[in-house]
Amino acid sequence: MVRVEKRNGKIVDFEGEKIEIAVKKAMEETEKGIDEELAKEISEKAYETFKDLDVVNIEQIQDFVEVELMKTRPEVARKYIIYREERAKLREQGWSMSDLQRDIYEKKYRYDSESFEDFLERVSGGNGPVKKAIKDKKFMPAGRILAGRGLDKLGRKVTLSNCYVMPKVEDNIESIFDTAKYMAKTYSYGGGVGLSISKLRPKGAKVNNAASTTTGAVSFMDLFSMVTGLIGMRGRRGALMLNMDINHPDIEDFIDVKNDLSKVTYANISVNITDEFMKAVKEDKDFRLYFKVDATGEEIEKIVRARDIFRKIAYNNWNMAEPGVLYVDRINSWHLLSEDDEFEFAGVNPCAEETLPAFGSCNLSSINLSEFVKHPFTKYARFEFEKFGEMVRNGVIYLNEVLDENMNLHALKEQREMSKAYRQIGLGIMGLADMFIKMGVRYGSSESISLIHQIGRIMINEALRQSALLASKYGPFPKYKRDAVLASPFLISNADDDVLELIKEHGLRNSQLLTIPPTGSIATLIGCSNGVEPIFQVSYTRKSESLHSEDTYYKVFTPIVKEYMDKNNLSYEEELPDFIVTTSNLNYRERIEVQAAWQQYIDASISSTVNVPNEFTVEEVEDLYMYAWERGLKGITIYRDGCARSGILITDKKKKSNLERIDELKEEINKLAEEELKKDPDTCPMCGGKMNHSGGCEECQDCGYSPCAV
């Protein structure tokens, strides 16, 4: 059998019918019309010519067809050549992109000089429904898949998983440096890392070495941060989340560590908060910090006022935008394996949307909700629930294909083993705010919450359904325990009866299904709002620099707002309806209600940053975190506009000359940019635009600059 190499590198069987169809299409354009026998003859000759070769590429076959047509029907050959040229042009055509979107596509995701058609084919892996959905902007894989899928055939060692969690670092020097090694290896393959340091003994504890006492868990954070800053891919640093349990005796030092701008510069930090602690805060009770050192038997205990610790967390968020909070009891109780005694989460990934076990990983993709609105911007606007459900099923199939393809592309043997054992995938959503605007619904209103519940219920059930159907064909994930999964409160609360019966019969192919990532770059790429976030602002000011005249400033509207204004012939933002809200005029409790509604149906977690105005108070931060816990969120963080973190050590912005040298000094400029961003996180170091803070990272609204890994 002749094997054919397609343009995306995929090897398929020779299909003579395709040659016949192409030749007949060319014949249709001529006066003599179609010659069925000749078309078949050329197809058969092609097979005979190439049958002794192991593999023939598509261009060789098409060149052969051209030559054969020139011998007998030169007028058809000319039409065939035109047909090939038109097909080549179609492959080159892609989305209509702004300069920013083109920059993201070219610099982050396009491989070499591949055509847009080849890009779609490579990323979709030949999955037809997903390929069409990507082209239609209804579905988008995460950055690691966009940048790396298919490159293993070219010898590139890149993972297709964005998210990894390391084992909790053990309380010994060997584990500390083994962890640093594991992190470095993972970063070199393109993954981001989450790590808990809660098992490290606190400051002042006895050690059996020359030091007598330890410098504490917090002192090792800079080591892990340094590894993250040094090791990365394609000039981009790695991404790291460090977290600590609320009852660790060093928790106050952990909360304060990033007040020193020279400390832990390459990591996000979060506190693991328990229900016990939150109840102590509500009731103004004392709280016990405790650690037992297994190696020495030493017990370290502190009694603190819970509200004092809570105030410290709130103040540091108000002042410095960290640490975020993770509600660990909600995390541990609301997922498919909550009743499996052998299963344990070790932490979360850098953007906190993925809760994972030790050496766990997850590949991600997101559905663009705004593209499922029929008759947008009219009173007849409605959400296409059936088409959305179909997209969910196709998304689950696709992510399982990627998971299998990625099985041997993880950096560590332990990561490969865990991926095989639990088969976590992460299907999410984006474009929520845009969807609401297209439907004339105010973000955070009771109508919006009702709509989320409708969509979320469909999403989890169709994901479960498809995972069960895959299990019927390929078997459930190896660590599947029927009774434990069926006893899960998450499953019992969300699964429809017919879906539950499927699971009882076949099990599930995946232990984790749904998540909501921040989707920063991919949302910008296709022009929709991020994750579950409201739109950041209605408009922003862009500067056009001229060599011979003064700079020109002009207003640019957020894509969905511009689309609304164009549809309704509006010229000024003052004319916009009240249902179009932004991060600056949305009540924070409404924002939490939106996330809480989604969390009902998400078995992993949700990456979330609540952007609040400068006048937001510390007391309001406390209320926000208390309300988020009461409403069942798994995690949340805030960013206060103009907080102290953005005002310390501000220096003059870099001159344009740095940008003009970017091709030669890209890596150096990225390092300079990151240093500037540490000093002024609200201002883009590349263009001076406003930075949008979402999901634990930052991205410029104007030029798309981001310090985070793809």
Q: Supply the DSSP string of 389-440, one letter for each residue.
A: HHHHHHHHHHHHHHHHHTTT-SSSHHHHHHHHHH--EEEEEE-HHHHHHHHT
Bridge-based pairing of strands 55-57 and 3-5 is parallel
Q: What is the DSSP letter of 610?
A: E
Tokens 């010659």 belong to 35
User: Which residues on neighbouring strands pair with residue 287, listed in sequence order?
Assistant: 304
Nearest residue to 114 (alpha-carbon basis) of 74, 138, 149, 141: 149
- What backbone phi and psi angles, to 5 degrees, belong to 611? -80, 125
Question: Burial letters for 233-268: b for 16+ Cβ neighbours within 10 Å, e otherwise?
Answer: beebbbbbbbbbbbbbbbbbbbbbbbeeeeebbbbb
Q: In this structure, is residue 706 part of a structural domain? A: no
The burial class, CB within 10 Å (0-12 / 13-18 / 19+), for 302 is middle
Task: Give the pLDDT confidence score for residue 33 in this predicted structure.
Answer: 84
Q: Which amino acid does the sequence have at 412?
A: L
Task: Give the pLDDT confidence score for residue 680 in this predicted structure.
Answer: 75
Hey, which bits of 276-323 come out as E strands? 286-292, 299-305
Please check whether residue 273 is in contact with residue 332, taking contact to mean a CB–CB distance below 8 angstroms: no
Please check whether residue 85 is in contact with residue 77, taking contact to mean a CB–CB distance below 8 angstroms: no
CA dist list (Å): 299 to 118, 253, 274, 345, 411: 61, 19, 21, 25, 37
* Sign of the four-CA dihedral 168, 170, 173, 174: negative
Q: In this structure, is residue 247 part of a structural domain? A: no
Please check whether residue 294 is in contact with residue 609, taking contact to mean a CB–CB distance below 8 angstroms: no
Q: Which amino acid does the sequence have at 578?
A: D
Q: How far apart are CA 385 and CA 73, in angstroms?
A: 51
Q: How far apart are CA 250 and CA 218, in angstroms?
A: 7
Q: How far apart are CA 62 and CA 56, in angstroms?
A: 11
Nearest residue to 672 (alpha-carbon basis) of 646, 710, 639, 705: 705
Bridge-based pairing of strands 268-273 and 324-327 is parallel
Distance from the Cα of residue 252 to its chain's centroid: 31
Q: Is 642 helix (H, G, I), strand (E, B) or coil?
A: coil
Please check whether residue 517 is in contact with residue 533, taking contact to mean a CB–CB distance below 8 angstroms: no
Tokens 């979320």 belong to 456
Q: What is the mean pLDDT of each run of 10 residues along the chain (710 residues)?
A: 76 88 85 86 90 88 90 87 77 80 92 92 95 97 95 87 96 96 94 97 86 88 94 70 98 96 93 99 98 94 98 97 97 98 97 96 97 96 98 98 97 98 98 98 98 99 99 99 98 98 99 96 94 92 57 79 94 94 94 98 96 95 98 96 62 34 46 66 68 66 56
Tokens 């049958």 belong to 51
Show contacts of 666-670: CB within 8 Å, 24+ apart.
Answer: 666/235, 667/235, 670/235, 670/236, 670/707
Q: How far apart are CA 95 and CA 318, in angstroms?
A: 40
Give the torsion through C-alpha atoms of 218, 223, 226, 232, to 10 deg. -110
Nearest residue to 91 (alpha-carbon basis) of 208, 8, 213: 8
Q: How far apart are CA 455 and CA 614, in angstroms?
A: 34
Q: Is 138 helix (H, G, I), strand (E, B) or coil?
A: coil
Q: Which amino acid does the sequence have at 528?
A: C
**Domain around 87:** 3-92
Would you tell me how many other CB atoms lie within 10 Å of the CB of residue 203? 16
Task: Give the pLDDT confidence score for residue 421 in this predicted structure.
Answer: 98
Q: In this structure, is residue 372 part of a structural domain? A: no
Q: Which amino acid does the sequence have at 672?
A: L
User: Which residues on neighbouring strands pair with residue 348, listed in sequence order?
Assistant: 355
Tokens 């949340």 belong to 636
Would you tell me how many other CB atoms lie within 10 Å of the CB of residue 627? 16
Task: Give the pLDDT confidence score for residue 193 in this predicted structure.
Answer: 97
Please check whether residue 198 is in contact with residue 248, taking contact to mean a CB–CB distance below 8 angstroms: yes
Q: What is the DSSP letter of 107?
A: I
Q: In this structure, is residue 33 part of a structural domain? A: yes
Q: What is the DSSP letter of 623?
A: H
Hey, which bits of 491-634 come out as E strands? 539-544, 552-557, 609-612
Give the torsion through C-alpha atoms of 310, 315, 318, 321, to 10 deg. -80
Q: How far apart are CA 173 and CA 179, in angstroms?
A: 10
Task: Give the pLDDT confidence score for residue 663 in this predicted structure.
Answer: 41
Q: In this structure, is residue 42 part of a structural domain? A: yes
Q: How far apart are CA 581 and CA 579, in angstroms?
A: 6
Query: Angle at Cα 242 formed by Cα 313 and Cα 258, nearest 5°?
Result: 50
pTM: 0.82
> Which helix (H) or strand (E) segment is 382 a member of?
strand 382-383
Q: In this structure, is residue 21 part of a structural domain? A: yes
Tokens 């299907």 belong to 427
Q: How far apart are CA 349 and CA 324, in angstroms?
A: 13
Q: How far apart are CA 256 and CA 268, in angstroms?
A: 13
Q: In this structure, is residue 434 part of a structural domain? A: no
Q: How far apart are CA 39 and CA 424, in angstroms?
A: 48
Q: In this structure, is residue 14 part of a structural domain? A: yes
Q: How far apart are CA 690 and CA 356, in angstroms?
A: 33
> Which helix (H) or strand (E) segment is 139 a member of?
strand 139-141
Q: What is the DSSP letter of 552?
A: E
Task: Give the pLDDT confidence score for residue 235 in this predicted structure.
Answer: 53
Please check whether residue 376 is in contact with residue 438, taking contact to mean a CB–CB distance below 8 angstroms: yes
Total domains in the fold of the chain: 1
